[in-house]
Structures are given as structure tokens and as C-alpha cells.
A = this chain, B = another copy of it.
Amino acid sequence: MTIKDVAQHCGVSVSTVSRVLNKHPDVSERVRSKVMRAVEELHYVPNSSARDLVCAASDAVGLVVRGVGNPFFLDVFHAVESTIAEAGYTMFVQNIHPGEDELRAGAQLVRSKKLRGLILLGGCFDYNADDVALLDVPFVCCSYTNSFGNLDEKAYSSVTIDDRAEAHRAVHYLVKNGHRRIAVLLESTDDRSISELRYMGYRQALEENGIAFDEALVLQTRGYGMDAAYDAVCEALKKELSFSALFCISDSMAVAAMKALHDAGRSVPKDCSVIAIDGIEMSAYSIPTLTTLSQPKHEMGEMSVRLLLDMIEGHTANRHVVLETEPRRGGSVCRICD
């Protein structure tokens, strides 16, 4: 069974069948459904490997997801996927572990699949020029940017929130509600990544509001997992640290923190307010609902694809887009009077 058989079966040219299979937009709905019916009936399985070799310029782009267990990435993933499909491109996905090198994985994917561009969902915040030299196609950093590296901003594109400013905003919201003993739950204060950026925002908000920094209120976890977050909060409560509010660098860590507070007999928000950044589905169903700054996940995915396709199709220059979060008011923050 070859593509020729399919073409003969429905009386169209081989290139028309190919266009349908490659999801080109310039095929009428009537022809498209006729071809797809024939593909169904004849049990034809397109050989994409052969297709890759035949096409001079493929219509494929790649997505490297670093940290597939990150619930925040799921919605972004779906937005990337559907935007790429709507644009008539094919997508190849590669999942890698948080410790793996997304540039190396991306370069390998580009070469083996002859990709025209790449979206990196999650990655390092400190590339230098040598690192990105591996990639000879346009690429977009989705959900992060080169905050700690020395990369020329003309050398890459990014779509992200301003992690530092958003953390500042979250902590400032607690201060506005009367809190001054504000703890922070984070993975690291110097990971040259998202945890450090959000920590910087926390520090800045304290300073601007004339609140002295207290190192004891930095609750450091042994990882990004819920178990680590739970343990760190339990430990702080055992030490009888006094704080009326807790800023968590992620929603999932905040849900685990609320559980730890509850298990220690503290009521959220009466005894301790909790706020975070992310806006994942799970935290909308915690008790109480988590108050959080919700990242524009759909827009982030969609915008990343648009930047990439502009570069591929229009040969535009690299760009950097900073999106804003949307406050999701839950029930985990209350006003106190000192």
C-alpha cells in the first residue's frame, strides 16, 4: 500500500494526497475528507521517514519539554500543539528530565527530523553564546528567558512572565493586607533560575515596604515536589517560627504547604495567609481555593508558536515578549491588623 494507491483510489494526484497528509491549508474540505476516507478504508499508514527525505524543506517544528511532570506545562503544551496544527505544521515532541540539556536534545531533534524551528518549554536561564551555537534554526524559549546568562538578546526569542516583578506583586499584595511577618517557600535562593528570580522579587517587596529581611523566614525545600514543600513547612512550624503569611514560588508547593499548615492545626487563612504564582487547575480545588497569580498559559504557548513561525516564514528578527499574570482571588489570603 503506497501513497499512489491512495491517490488512484480517490482519483486525485499524489501531491494532493501528500498535501492532505501534511495538513496543508490549501486543500478543499471536500477533497480532504475524500482522501482521509480512502486512507481509512485502505489502512494506509504514511511513512513520515520517507516523507522527510523527499521534502527539501520540511514543515516540521520541534517542542522540547523539560520537566514533563510540571503540571503548569500541560496547558502551555496543549496551546503550542493546537497552534502548530492550525498553522499546518507538523510537531515533534521530546520530553527530557529537568537535569538534561534542552539545547543538545533540541539540536539532535532538529538534525534527525530536519526541523525548521524549535520551541523549548522549560530550560536554563543562563545560556551563553557557545551553548546556543548548537542550534542552527530559529528557537523560542517558552516560559523562561536568559535572565542570568550573557546571551545577546538578538540571538534568541522568548515568551515569559517577569518572574521577579510578579513575585514582587504577590508579596506586595500580602503587605497591603497588613502582613509584615511574611515567609517564603522556595527551592533555592541561588539556582540562577525561576526560584532565584522569584526570591529576588520577594526581597525587593520587603525592602520597598520597609520590612526587615529575616533569614529564618526563608523556608528552603529539597526540590520542587509537593513532598519536599510539605516537609519544609512542617519543619518551620516545629521550630515555632512566627509568620502570618507565606509566599510560595509555585501553586503545587502552596497546596502542599496548606496541607502542612492544616495538619499542624493552623487554619488558612485565619492563622496564616498563603499566596503563590502559576494558576494550575489543582489549586482551584484546594480547600480553601488558593489565591494566586495565574500565568497566561494559553497565550504563552500560542505566542511562542507565532514568534517562531514569523521567523521561519517571514524571516523576522528574534523578539522577546513579556506577559502579565492574572490575579485569581481564592480564599487563602486574609487581611490582618497588626
Contact = CB atoms under 8 A, between A and B. Distances in A.
Given A43-B134, A74-B68, A95-B93, A49 B113 contact: yes
A92 to B, nearest CB: 9
Interface residues of A, number: 39
A128 interface: no
Interface string A82-126: 000000000001110000000010011001111000000000000
Copies in the complex: 2
A45 interface: yes
A326 to B, nearest CB: 17
Interface string A52-80: 10000000000000001101001001100
A148 interface: no
A308 B262 CA distance: 45
Given A93-B95, A107-B45, A285 B112 contact: no
Given A48-B112, A49-B113, A77-B68, A262 B281 contact: no
B74 A133 contact: no
A91 to B, nearest CB: 10
Interface stretch (A194-202, A203-211, A253-261, A310-318): A253-261
Given A49-B112, A259-B289, A285-B286, 6 more contacts: A45-B107, A47-B112, A49-B52, A226-B281, A226-B285, A259-B286
Q: Which 6 A-B pairs have the closest CB atoms?
A: A49-B112, A48-B112, A259-B285, A287-B287, A45-B107, A256-B285
